[in-house]
Structures are given as C-alpha cells and as structure tokens.
Structure 1
Amino acid sequence: MGFFRVVLVSLFVVVFFYLSHQLTRFADLSLGMVSIVNLGLISILGIVLAQPLYFWSDRRLEHRPWHDSFSRVAHLCMAYINFLISFVILRDVAAFALEYLAPAYSTEFAFGKEALGIMLTLPLFLILLGTLVVRVGPRVTHVALGFKNLPKGLENLRILHITDLHISSSLPVHFVEKLVQRVNKLKPDLVVYTGDILDSQAIRHLAEFDSLKKMESRLGHYYVPGNHEYYWDVDQGLAAFRSVDFNVLINETANLTINNSLLQISGIPDPAARMFRKEEPDFEKVAAQLKPEGFKLLLSHQPSLAKQACKKGFDLQLSGHTHGGQFFPWNLLIGFFERYSKGLYRIQGMQLYVNQGTGYWGPSLRLGTYCELTVITLTSNVSILRRGRSAKR
C-alpha cells in the first residue's frame, strides 16, 4: 500500500507541473493570476488524490456523514481534471504537428489568455452535459439474437440485462426507483445481472434493495458478482441480493424448463475473488452441470472470459465491466484496453453481448456513451446472424 501511495502522489505531482506549465507559461499572466491558477489546480488535484489515499483504505468502512459529500465533490473534480488534461494534450499535439507540417501557421492563439479561459471553463460545460445524459436515465436497447440451435420453446424469450449499476452514495436512490419502473413496464421474461450492481456496504443501501425487490420478472432474477462487490464485504452483499430473491450463481447453473425446452443459466464469479480468497471462476465445475439439450447462457462480469466460455459450449455470454469507456476520451480509447468493449461479438460459434453499463462509476456523468438497459430477444431466425457487427477477434 505504501508503494502505491508513493507512485500515486508522484503521478499527481507530474500532472500538476505539466498542467501548470502548459496553461500559464505562455499566457502572459500576472504573478497573481498564475498563483490563482496554480492554487486552483492544487486544490482540485488534492481533492481527487484524497479519494484513493483515504477512502480506498480500511478507514473507508468507518463511515462518517461528510464522506458522501466529499466523495461526490472528488468525483466531479476527477471529471474536471480528466477533461482538462485531455484538452491540453490535444492542443499540444496539434500545435506540435503544425509546427512541423505548417510552420507558417501561427499557434500562439492556442496558448494565450483567451485559450486559457476556454481550457478552464470548457470542462464545466462537458460535466453539465454528461450529467444531463445520466439524469435522463437508462436507455432501452433492443437486441435480437438468432441461434440455429435454439429450442422451440425458447422462441422470442425476452431477457433483460442489467449490469454495472454501482449502487453507492454517488447513485441517487431515485435512479434505482426509476430503473425499476422502467423494467416493470417492459415486462421481461427474466432479468439477469452481470455484476457491479453494488459498490458500497449493503447495509447502507436498504432503500435501494427494497426497490430492487419490486422489480417484476416472470421467470426470476439471476445474478453474478463483479469485481466491485468484492471490495465491499462480498458475503454481506450476496446475502442482501439473496434477501430480495435474486438467484446468486457462483459457478452454478440454474435449470429452467420453459414450454418443454431447457434453458440453462450459468454464472461465474469475477476473477477478483482470488484477491479476497473467495471461490474463483471454475469453468470445469460449470461445464460439468451442462446438458446437451439445453440452451446455454453464461453470466460473466468480465467479457474477457469469453474465449474460455466458448470452449465449454455456451451459446450466449452476457457481460459488462467496460462501461463503454463511460466518457470522453475513454469512450474512444476503451478498445485499446478491452478486446470486447461494448455491443455484440461472435466468437467461435458463441455470441457475446457487452452491455455498456446501466449506471455509472465515479463521476455521475456519461459523454459519448449512455446508461444502457438491454432487452435481448432470442430467436431461431438465422438471418439475424448476418446482421450487426461481427467480432471474430
């Protein structure tokens, strides 16, 4: 932990000096204005840095009333720094390129007082815009998936997929209430949850669990934990989900007979379980529970486990985790970090759908993405297989 703190503080010091130099060095500011800009940067970076140094330690479990307010402010500061450093880097790269490609073209305007004002205020507008996107609530995405081997009784089965809700102090209770109302209007056959639904101590969010209990589904609710559930006393969290009638699947398979056809819903835990000495993903254990005649659905928080899943004969895997990058510029860069970042992929005969997240993590905003509530309809119509994005990667 000590090494982590040293690295983190060092990184923030580098970020401060880079931003300070690039924002003020060429702007022809008075000493007083330079001091004000630097003091603002130090304050914002200090608030962001306090989040991992304090709240990501054991003391986070000792909750105080002011913690939630500070955390929300820290997340907004995180978003501000994210946008600010992105714009500074983009400006610097563009100016550097023009210096060599078009030396006659002056870039001084990009480093003056006016440019500084734009750089410092534009992140505020983006935060406001991204917050409005979240306030709209989850957008319903309808996805039809065709399977040649789909049992007749499962034709047009509607599966509602929720992931990465991140119930915590930064997610308002009414967001969950609105989600439940929207789900109930959709009247799904069953609801599946692929992890990171809870991102806090369960005991602090009884109101949210009361809302989740009101979510209606003809065939039940099926859930697997993500990495964030393990960070907050996973046993307490799983008990809370079971208390609201969620079927928690830890290397287990639930068998549902629907119209004389067998649907097998399997769930594996997140690999983060290893860090906490909990039951790890065990594909062999899950595969031993599968039956040849069943349609095999796998719930996995991590889409990166798809290669292992397809080798075990699963027909469909549902995942989350990536958030689709959540906001600029990560929504454009997520593909460099996650092979399966969002949407539909076909991998050696198995289909994988990655939901970009029903809620959000950290800053309460999305930019370039949206909160997704996915309704997946199963069909034997093989023409569906030819539509959409193929990802045999």
Structure 2
Amino acid sequence: MFSIILYVVGSLMHFYVADRVRRAAFLRERVRPGPWWLGAVLVWLVYIAGVRIGDEALDWRWWPGQFAMTWLGLLFVMTMCLLVADVLTGFGLWLRRHRPALIGIAAMAGLAIGAFGIWQAVRAPRVIEYEVMLDELPRALDGTVLAMVADLHLGAQRGPEWLAARVEQINALSPDAVVMVGDQVEGEPVRSELLPAVLQRLQAPLGVWAVTGNHEFYGDVAETLAEFEAGGVGWLRDGHATIAPGLVLTGIDDVGRAMRRGDDPARAVEPVLATRPDGASILLAHIPALPVVEQASRQGVDLMLSGHTHDGQIWPFNHAVKTRFPLVVGEYRVGAMTLIVSRGAGSWGPRMRLWKAGEIVKLTLRSPRP
C-alpha cells in the first residue's frame, strides 16, 4: 500500500504541481513549455529512483532517497495550496483573469509552508513537561524525573551525531531514568561505532531502558538490540525492572505484528502485566492501541507511555491517524491510569512536521499527598 502511495500518488501530485506552477503569472510568460516539461520529467525520474533505492543506506544512496521523501512532503503541501486556488477559480471556469496570480500566490504559499515544515523537523525537539501522581509511589520517590524519548528513527536522516545533541538535551533535565519508547531506528541497525559511546553519555542513575517498536523489526532486530545494549541500554521485552524500591517498569515487545495479523494485541499484554512485581507500575508500550491501553488500565497500571503516532506528523494526517489511534498525542486518563503519548523526537518518511516540532518528554512523578 505504501509503495502505491509513493509511486502513483507521488507521481500524480508531481505532475499536477508542475502543470499548475507553469500557469503561475510569474512563470507563464518567462518559461517555454518544452524546457519546463523536460525539467519536470527529469525531476520525476530522480524522485522515482529515490523511492526505488530507499533512504536507509548511509552511502551515496542516501541522497536520492532523502530527496524523494522530502519532495513527496513538499508536493503534498503544494498540492493542498494549489487545490485551494483551483477551487476558488472553478478549475479555470471563472476568475480566469485572476487565475495566474492566484496560482502564483498558492505556489509561493506552498513553498513557504513546506520550508517551515522542514525547519520544524530539523530543529531540536522541544521539551514537554508533565507531572503525574502514582498512587503507590513511595514518598521517598516523590519528585523522581523520567526523560522519555520515542521515535528517534536513527538511520539515514539522523545518526549518532544528531543523537549526541539529544543526549545533551536529556542530561540537562537531570533525569533519574531515561525511557526509550520504541522506533529507536528507522529499520536497519545504525552500524556505527559512535553509537555506544553516545548512549553511554546519558546520565541517569536509575538506568536507561527501552522497548521495541515496529521499525526495529524491519531490519536485523538482534543486531539493533546488541548495538543499544553496548551503549548501556536495558531492553524490556515482555519483562520488568524494579528501578527503585516501589517503582516498577514493565515493557512489552511491539504489538504491531499482532495487529497486522488481526490478533487482539491485549492478549500479549495480559500475561506480562500479571507477573509484574508490586509497586507503582509504569508500562512502556510503543503503540497506544486502544485494546492495550484498556487492558493496562484494567490490570492496575498507574502510567502508560507510548509513541508511534507522530501526531500525524504533517497536518491534516493527525486527523487520519486519530481514526486508528483515538488517543493520538498528549495526556489522557483511562480509568485510574494516566496515558502519555509522545509525538516523538524524530520523524519518518518526509523530514517535515506541520505544525508542531518533535518533542522530548520530562515526567515528574508524584506520590499521593499525606
């Protein structure tokens, strides 16, 4: 399905944008149709080649792959803007004299919005703060700080150097523990000798913990796990860790594969939660699938942390994502449980974000007031 979007929908948007921009007032009299369409076809061929090659490789293939993904995002934004101009002019049936100017304005708006989206994706993630009360958290742990990062998507777009800057951001929060909530990689392992050293710079006395996301399983998951373990990261794969007396982390493996098979993802959660130690309970689960959320609430989890949705990443896809994951981003109460879904620190596909930048989450845990 995604290949159809990349090849077919991407191509349709490409030639639609090329046709409309050629009609803009500032180009119509300056560029001849022949050279324009030759250039449009050449750019389209580069786009198709980039889609075919992919964007995970860290050699020369990185460039066409990155171009293809960025071009796809820009085409989408420009298509939306140009469609507005087409609707206003009845696709050329009225306001014919003003149509070239309106198309030119729409094209410039699309370029400006696309540039803003790219900037939002490449800028440093923002720090979002939450304060959560856990009923069973001991008084001695009141004020414990967790730094939560999701959807780093390390790979062609973001390597260890980018991660090093995120480590500095995280350390500035003085976290007691760091939790990485899935999709640490784009697919294939990072395969960089710099990665373990960067991860080892994380300063968290209660440890650095991670769960798998769907993207970990798109490549060699065993090698990815080993790379992060070499950096001091502890993986919670359907397991638990009592990181302090009375504070328990539980992590489940990605449920995306079960969902794609049509299985109930709650079945994977129930036995894991049933064996967790006593104490305030935090569940790390990459995908905030509603059956998982509801099962966790029924089994007395105090706090669930997820990512995966990217908050749609590019508006208006957040509305489409919400139809599949109703609890799409932010803080929710589900029974007695708090759920926090992060929009993620990185991005997937087009390196664009509209309208909000990526995020790193600072969580301050509170025990009940006496």
Please indicate the TM-score interval, normalised by the length of the shorter structure: 0.7 to 0.9
Q: In the alignment, what sits opposite 2:216?
A: 229
Match of 1:303 among 266, 284, 288: 288
Match of 1:270 among 248, 251, 254: 254
Q: In the alignment, what sits opposite 1:286?
A: 272
- Is 1:342 the equivalent of 2:336? no
Cα separation, 1, equivalents of 2:190 and 2:107: 40
Alignment CA distance shift 1:23-1:223 (3 Å): same
How big is each residue's C-alpha offset from its partner over 1:140-193, in whole Å with a ceiling of 9 and x where there is no partner?
A: 111111244433233111111001111112125432111111211211010001
How big is each residue's C-alpha offset from its partner over 1:325-367, in whole Å with a ceiling of 9 and x where there is no partner?
A: 2233334654344311110011122111011111222333323
Match of 2:197 among 202, 210, 217: 210
Alpha-carbon deviation of 1:93? Answer: 4.4
Q: In the alignment, what sits opposite 1:65?
A: 59
Alignment CA distance shift 1:26-1:186 (3 Å): closer
Alignment CA distance shift 1:81-1:212 (3 Å): same
Alpha-carbon deviation of 1:16? Answer: 4.7
Cα separation, 1, equivalents of 2:281 and 2:54: 40
Alpha-carbon deviation of 1:197? Answer: 1.1
Contact 2:148 2:180 in 1 (8 A): yes
Q: Residue 170 of structure 1 aligns to a residue in which SS? A: coil
Cα separation, 2, equivalents of 1:243 and 1:130: 35
Q: In the alignment, what sits opposite 1:153?
A: 140
Alignment CA distance shift 1:35-1:336 (3 Å): farther
Match of 2:179 among 172, 192, 211: 192
- Is 1:126 the equivalent of 2:113? yes
- Is 1:80 the equivalent of 2:68? no
- Is 1:316 the equivalent of 2:303? yes
Alpha-carbon deviation of 1:312? Answer: 2.3
Cα separation, 1, equivalents of 2:172 and 2:273: 35
Q: In the alignment, what sits opposite 2:346?
A: 359
Alignment CA distance shift 1:172-1:364 (3 Å): farther
Q: In the alignment, what sits opposite 1:243?
A: 230
TM-score by length of 1: 0.80
Cα separation, 1, equivalents of 2:138 and 2:58: 53
Match of 1:111 among 99, 107, 110: 99
Alpha-carbon deviation of 1:37? Answer: 4.7
How big is each residue's C-alpha offset from its partner over 1:309-336, in whole Å with a ceiling of 9 and x where there is no partner?
A: 2222211110111112223333465434
Cα separation, 2, equivalents of 1:96 and 1:119: 15
Alpha-carbon deviation of 1:248? Answer: 0.4
Contact 1:198 1:229 in 2 (8 A): yes
- Is 1:166 the equivalent of 2:153? yes
Cα separation, 2, equivalents of 1:53 and 1:136: 28
Contact 2:85 2:103 in 1 (8 A): no
Cα separation, 2, equivalents of 1:5 and 1:129: 26
Q: Residue 152 of structure 2 aligns to a residue in which SS? A: coil
Alpha-carbon deviation of 1:82? Answer: 1.6
In the comparison of the two structures, how many residue pairs are matched? Answer: 360
Alignment CA distance shift 1:371-1:311 (3 Å): same
Contact 2:269 2:296 in 1 (8 A): yes
How big is each residue's C-alpha offset from its partner over 1:48-80, in whole Å with a ceiling of 9 and x where there is no partner?
A: 444443328xxx7xx572111222222221221
Alignment CA distance shift 1:96-1:156 (3 Å): farther
Cα separation, 2, equivalents of 1:255 and 1:129: 43
Q: In the alignment, what sits opposite 2:84?
A: 90
Q: In the alignment, what sits opposite 1:385?
A: none
Alpha-carbon deviation of 1:138? Answer: 1.8
Alignment CA distance shift 1:52-1:271 (3 Å): farther
How big is each residue's C-alpha offset from its partner over 1:197-225, in whole Å with a ceiling of 9 and x where there is no partner?
A: 11143253332332122111010011001
Cα separation, 1, equivalents of 2:105 and 2:232: 51
Aligned residues: CA RMSD: 3.2
Aligned residue identity for 2:52: L
Once structures 1 and 2 are overlaid, which stretch shifts more, 217-226 or 66-75?
Answer: 66-75
Aligned residue identity for 1:74: A
Alignment CA distance shift 1:348-1:36 (3 Å): farther
Contact 1:221 1:247 in 2 (8 A): yes
TM-score by length of 2: 0.84
Contact 1:230 1:272 in 2 (8 A): no
Aligned residue identity for 2:286: H
Cα separation, 1, equivalents of 2:139 and 2:126: 30
Contact 1:44 1:77 in 2 (8 A): no
